[in-house]
Structure 1
Amino acid sequence: MLSTGPTDRDPAREELLPGRIAPLLAAAVVVGSGIGILLPGLGQQAGRLLPPTVLLLVTALFFEARLDLRGALRAWRVVGPAWSVNFGLVPVLAYVISSTFVGRELAAMLGLFIYFAAPCTDWFLGFTRIAGGNIVAGSVLLPINMVTQLAAYPLMLSIFFGHRSGRVPDVGFTVLIWFALPFVAARLGRMVAASTSASLQARLTRRAGRLVPWVITALIIEIFGANAQTILAHFRIFIWCLVAVFSFFVIIFFIGELVGRACRLDRGDQVLLTMTTSARNAPLMLAITTVAIPGEPLTYAAIVIGMLIEFPHLVAVSTLLRRRGSVHRVVVRRMI
């Protein structure tokens, strides 16, 4: 997701919210599936709400974002390796893992690839703070990740799936229309709020951030409500999706460790590298995909499955890194 930066949001809320959102999203899957199976007519009605819900989500994400590219040169030591892994190595790994586990089902494979290939631009900063990482460099990395992944979305689909999907040429135009307009509206809204008072801008930004999880929840209910029958018919595929997501997180954790050591990063930068390569940008990718590649419920469901696993994974990784840092500090004190 998009970053508000460390000054736009209550730090305590930023750290607690990711821990709460996984059960909320899981409940949305259950509720949406129940509606689609027991009340299919209502599920189809819910599906018609997808376009306005996507617009609301994207506008809230962009309003919440703090775009400040200054400082990138000072943070190059960690920003460079993190960007290279996220947009150079990860897409290749994403294709290999998704094709290995669900390669026979193009729609699910596409969803996993999209989920894997987009680095998070919000939640991971809170987890980086919890683990004692470099959040200053992290705030520099966030807008870079955001701009790169939006620009790379149609390009990556064309490179990896262009020969298998006839819809790819239309993706770039769709992304431009559906995301350029909300971006402009959100930035104008921030400018108007800032011209009134800084406190008003901060207050509206916090409220946009609090709104995002609930809009994501509504989007998931609508997707599963409208497509529960199709998703249920392919349930076995999603077992393999779970295995694929777990495998991705294990592999990328060790890649982050190896790259950090090869680049001789200090502990704070190493934590940042690990968290930014572990966290994915499922909300924005889900929004993009529902409008750029319409009528593919298996693709959307695969992205949601990745999101459900991601938050427990980030909690585990941040806890591990925090404990490792505590041990390191104790050893240093004894040496002194």
Structure 2
Amino acid sequence: MECIEKIEPILIFSSIILGLLFSNIAFISDNSSILINFFLFLMLLGVFLEIPLNDLKNGFKNFKFTKTSILINFIFTPIFGYFLGSIFLYNHLDIWIGFVMLILTPCTDWYLLFTKIAKGNLSLSLSILPINLILQVILLPIYLILFFSSSNTINLSDLGFSLFILIILPFLLSIIIKFLFKNKISIKNKIDSFFSKSQVIFLSLAIFIIFSSEANVLFENVSSIFLIFIPLIIFFIVIFILDYIVSKKVSFSYDEYASLTLTTLARNSPLALAIAINSFPHRELIIIALVIGPLIELPVLYIISKGLLKIKRPY
């Protein structure tokens, strides 16, 4: 993993601070939606260029691991996340939606770094990546409609537009680029290298613009936003325990157990953020909650990956 990705939490935090310091800049405020979409589009294009969709079949070679991961990530986690939100965030609907969107999207990048730290099975974790990406793109809008359509917060046309602009278009463009340069390896490698190194930069620029243009909303709702802390910590604790119990039950080796733990704990807030930008216009608290999430998540994942090493021998 590139060095710049290892300092992603620092870059995200710095983007938030800089955005708050340079708030209310006229050009950014007047064009925030266009700028945010532009940088998120580039970031997701880089994600799709990196995803080895040709290796999708590899995710099913260890069927027991794949099945277990899918059941936890896409059946248990959404229901449990909604349940936690209904307890702790019931009176804060926008933050509840942001929390659920964060919970619904398994990570597709930095979980590999933590898997490596914990000495998990890196190839196994990589094999599940395309499956996680495809399922979360399909299931995220379905779960949002199931959970929140009755509260009249979901505009289906906005949700469809968001998926088209920030998921379908960059995905199709990534396929076109791969096809056009499949026989021009050096050019393709340069393109892949550029987007691989720039993903974090594009995300950081989008976050800077979000906080620069929405600083007033953040300052007016500081106490409400940090309500996400409690359910998120409970989520990590419960999933960590569940992974241990399930791994013992199905006789996973330690490296499989470590891979399962990081695959089911790490969340993909950039993708959820990209969908939220257009699906919930003028619902700034949803977007801010999605940005705050990683500031809690990443230190926790580092502690857990180090903790897994401590229980490697007794496991």
Same fold, TM-score > 0.5, yes or no: yes
Matches of 2:189 and 2:238, distance apart in 1: 38
- 1:255 corresponds to 2:242: yes
Number of residue pairs matched? 312
Contact 1:125/1:138 (<8 A) preserved: yes
- 1:319 corresponds to 2:303: no
- 1:178 corresponds to 2:166: yes
SS in structure 2 of the partner of residue 122 of structure 1:
coil
Residue 59 and residue 18 in structure 1: after superposition, are their counterparts in 2 closer, same or farther (change >3 A)?
closer
Q: CA deviation at 1:128?
A: 1.1
Q: CA deviation at 1:168?
A: 4.0
Matches of 1:211 and 1:255, distance apart in 2: 35
Structure 2 counterpart of 1:55, one-letter code: F
- Single out whichever of 83-92 and 186-195 deviates more from structure 2: 186-195
Matches of 1:252 and 1:25, distance apart in 2: 25
Structure 2 residues not aligned, in runs of 5+: none
The structure 2 residue matched to 1:192, chosen from 180, 196, 199, is 180
Matches of 2:187 and 2:95, distance apart in 1: 43
Partner of 2:150: 163
Q: CA deviation at 1:251?
A: 1.8
The structure 2 residue matched to 1:145, chosen from 132, 138, 146, is 132
Contact 1:53/1:218 (<8 A) preserved: yes
SS in structure 1 of the partner of residue 59 of structure 2:
coil
Partner of 1:109: 96
1:93-108 paired onto structure 2 within 5 Å:
93-108=80-95
**TM-score of the superposed pair, with normalisation by structure 2:** 0.93
1:233-252 paired onto structure 2 within 5 Å:
233-252=220-239
- 1:44 corresponds to 2:32: no
Partner of 1:334: none
* Deviations, residues 242-289 of structure 1 (Å, cap 9, x unaligned): 222222212221121122122221111111110011100011111111
The structure 1 residue matched to 2:113, chosen from 107, 121, 126, is 126
RMSD of the TM alignment (CA)? 1.9
Structure 2 counterpart of 1:117, one-letter code: L
The structure 2 residue matched to 1:302, chosen from 289, 295, 302, is 289
Partner of 1:3: none
Matches of 2:4 and 2:40, distance apart in 1: 21
Matches of 1:82 and 1:311, distance apart in 2: 20
Matches of 2:5 and 2:231, distance apart in 1: 22
SS in structure 2 of the partner of residue 195 of structure 1:
coil
Structure 2 counterpart of 1:51, one-letter code: N
Matches of 1:71 and 1:173, distance apart in 2: 32
* Deviations, residues 74-95 of structure 1 (Å, cap 9, x unaligned): 2111111011000000001111
- Single out whichever of 43-52 and 96-105 deviates more from structure 2: 43-52
* Deviations, residues 26-55 of structure 1 (Å, cap 9, x unaligned): 11111112222xx35355145142222222
Q: CA deviation at 1:129?
A: 2.0
Matches of 2:27 and 2:240, distance apart in 1: 42
SS in structure 1 of the partner of residue 88 of structure 2:
helix
Partner of 2:60: 73
Q: CA deviation at 1:165?
A: 2.8
Contact 2:262/2:301 (<8 A) preserved: yes
Matches of 1:137 and 1:116, distance apart in 2: 22
Contact 1:46/1:222 (<8 A) preserved: no
Structure 1 counterpart of 2:139, one-letter code: A
- 1:207 corresponds to 2:194: yes
Q: CA deviation at 1:204?
A: 2.5
- 1:221 corresponds to 2:205: no
SS in structure 2 of the partner of residue 162 of structure 1:
helix
Q: CA deviation at 1:173?
A: 4.7
Structure 1 residues not aligned, in runs of 5+: 1-10, 330-336
Residue 317 and residue 203 in structure 1: after superposition, are their counterparts in 2 closer, same or farther (change >3 A)?
farther
Contact 2:114/2:302 (<8 A) preserved: yes
Contact 1:50/1:223 (<8 A) preserved: yes
- Single out whichever of 177-186 and 44-53 deviates more from structure 2: 44-53
Percentage identity across paired residues of the two chains:
25
- Single out whichever of 232-241 and 174-183 deviates more from structure 2: 174-183
Structure 2 counterpart of 1:282, one-letter code: S
- Single out whichever of 223-232 and 239-248 deviates more from structure 2: 239-248
